[in-house]
Amino acid sequence: MPKLYEYFGLIFLFYSQEHDPIHVHVKYQDKESKAEIIFENGKFKEIVIKDVQGKMPLDT
């Protein structure tokens, strides 16, 4: 799982060979959420924050 970025203890990473839509995972201590990057007709539309099954979600 390649780490993309780390900022104040937040670790941004992705898992290769994982499902669509494009997304990154964010971990902090024992918590984890994912940010799905939504494109429509080849253009950026929105980012949707979702929980990761089996993990405590990050506080929003």
Tens-of-pLDDT digits for all 60 residues of the chain?
688 899 999 999 987 777 778 899 999 999 999 999 999 999 999 999 999 999 999 986
Q: Where are the domains of the chain?
A: 3-51
Provide the b/e sequence for 46-59 (b: ≥16 CB within 10 Å).
eeeeeeeeeeeebe
Nearest to 10 by CA among 18, 25, 1, 21: 25
What's the confidence (pLDDT) of residue 45? 96
pTM over 0.75: yes
Q: What secondary structure letter does DSSP report for 35?
A: E
What percent of the chain is helix, strand and coil (3-state, nearest 5)?
0, 60, 40
